[in-house]
Amino acid sequence: MPIKSIDISPMEKRNLYNILLPLLALLLAGVLSASAQDTASNISAEEVREQSNPVTLTQAIQIAMANNNDIKRALLNLKTADQQVRIAWSEVLPDVSSSATYTRNLEIPVNFVPAQFFDPNAPADELVPLQFGTDNNWQGGLSVNQTLFRGEAIIGISSSKLYKAAQAENLRATTQQIVTQTRLAYYNVLVAEEQLRLQRETVERLRENLRENRSRQEAGLIDEYQVMQVEVQLRNQEPQLTQARYAVQQAYRELNIVLGLPVELELTVQGDLSRFNILAREVTDSINSNIKQVDQITPYSYEENKQLVGIATDMRGDIRILDKQEDLKQREIKAIQSRFLPSLSANYNLNWSAAQAGSPNFFGTEDTRARSQTIALTFSLPIFQGFERSSNLQIAKIEQRDLELQREQTIRSAKNEIQSAREALNQAIETAPAREEALNQAREGYQRAQARLENGLGSQLDVIEAEFQLRQAEVNYAQMVYNYLSAKARYDQAIGMVPFVDESKPELD
């Protein structure tokens, strides 16, 4: 649960572009192929549990990419698309079938025929029984059907490949979303832990002040009212410490959900918002080095870049999915139009038949067995089938227009998301120096208030006020860093350049 927002700081133009951990980039690239899908292994909860060191942001992203169920489902859809391609090809490949039938006549069938067939002098209405057939009858053959031309089947092959491409884009968009969610959940843990640390330090400072004031009261230096002031402040802050402790637990559970791990799994993350400098190109302490590396994978320029919307149009997963859906809809329109065209197919049949009396002998002998072959061409021209085809065509065109409108709306939303993220980043960059200076001054002010009280020059109220200012400055600084990191994660997703998802990225200036 983030601390309340404050402002953020100005920084020189940042245009850093270094690709981090190519293995992770290769991980997603491999995921897009069927072989990588079969060989990719999950990072188990046991492996995470056995890790003694805190989980870095890069490791958290890697765990999410391997375990998150949304990514797994996108992978399953991609595998389904592979089978859809095979199904489409089956429409133009030959259909080969064979069959064999054996019939045993327990009693030879009897038919009645006019007696005049055998005796011309027999009465016209006289019938005589006549047995037809043999004891054993065999039928077997081979049939081959080949579509020579059917427009819908031909278009279906290219459509199936587009469907697979759309599912690959869906996997990419899902991965972009999960990586961003992982970053935000990771930062939520850091800000919750920072809030807990600050609240714990506040309570400890108040407890120490209370002990010292009680000693001063016993020495007759201050009265009971000043001791009571500290006690009241301490009692007000202790419930907030409990709230902060539960907020950390909740933040970790939410992180585990994004990572695809059991919610009861206990993790620790690496990072310290109070020591993170958003303006520095490099970090001096190792605890924040990985966060800084991830932050710099996608460069950010303080100055406005008019190319961002174009980059977002080319790179954002949701826009690219709509592009593929538009292509699919165009193929669907062509497929419906092809239903007005004729179709041509060829058929070949090879058949054997045999008849045999007495005990069965498989397909008899050469004297009781016969073979036949046929080949046929079938030309079919649909003339009138009601209004189904024309109505389906109009529906497909309406749906195509709907996709165009969705794309226009998505681009407008992308512009808003980019601008909102830029404003949040610029606000953080512009206010960072002031936040840092306020924090240093608050620390010095608290130390001076303590010293003045010890020397009898200040009051307990001055210490309480200085402590409040220090806590507020610490909270403001941590919140400013959190706002910056969260805005940067959203900015990366808004322009479609999320770390670890794309191997190559366009230049931003």
User: Consecutive 10-residue runs of the chain (509 residues): their mean pLDDT?
Assistant: 37 32 33 35 58 85 91 88 83 90 87 83 84 86 90 79 85 92 95 90 83 80 80 87 92 94 89 88 84 89 77 85 88 85 92 87 82 92 84 90 92 91 92 89 85 75 79 88 93 91 57
Strand partners, 114: 127
Map out the domains of the chain as residue ranges: 22-101+116-341+364-494
d(CA 32, CA 40) in angstroms, rounded, equals 11
d(CA 280, CA 284) in angstroms, rounded, equals 9
For residues 17 and 497, the answer to whether their CB atoms sit within 8 Å is: no
Three-state DSSP state, 99:
strand
Top CATH class, 22-101+116-341+364-494: mainly alpha
C-alpha triplet 493, 497, 268: angle, nearest 5° = 65
Q: Nearest Cα to 348, choosing from 123, 92, 67, 143? A: 143
Please give the structure tokens belonging to residue 371. Answer: 């073979």
In the block, residue with structure tokens 């492996």: 47
The pLDDT score that the predictor gives to residue 1 is: 41
Q: Is 211 exposed, middle or buried (0-12, 13-18, 19+ CB in 10 A)?
A: exposed
Q: Is 365 exposed, middle or buried (0-12, 13-18, 19+ CB in 10 A)?
A: exposed
Enter the pTM of the model: 0.72
Please give the structure tokens belonging to residue 179. Answer: 């990586």
The pLDDT score that the predictor gives to residue 12 is: 33
d(CA 16, CA 9) in angstroms, rounded, equals 18
The pLDDT score that the predictor gives to residue 17 is: 31
C-alpha triplet 179, 184, 188: angle, nearest 5° = 145
Sign of dihedral through CA atoms 196, 201, 204, 210? negative
455 alpha carbon, distance to own chain's centre: 62
4 alpha carbon, distance to own chain's centre: 30
For residues 474 and 149, the answer to whether their CB atoms sit within 8 Å is: no
d(CA 309, CA 449) in angstroms, rounded, equals 52
Q: Is 277 exposed, middle or buried (0-12, 13-18, 19+ CB in 10 A)?
A: middle
The pLDDT score that the predictor gives to residue 404 is: 92
Q: How far apart are the first and last CA of the chain?
A: 36
Three-state DSSP state, 31:
helix
Strand partners, 11: none
What one-character DSSP code corresponds to residue 355?
A: E
Q: Is 348 exposed, middle or buried (0-12, 13-18, 19+ CB in 10 A)?
A: middle
What one-character DSSP code corresponds to residue 269?
A: B
For residue 27, give the amino acid letter. L
For residues 109 and 132, the answer to whether their CB atoms sit within 8 Å is: yes
For residues 380 and 391, the answer to whether their CB atoms sit within 8 Å is: no
What one-character DSSP code corresponds to residue 303?
A: S
The pLDDT score that the predictor gives to residue 339 is: 82
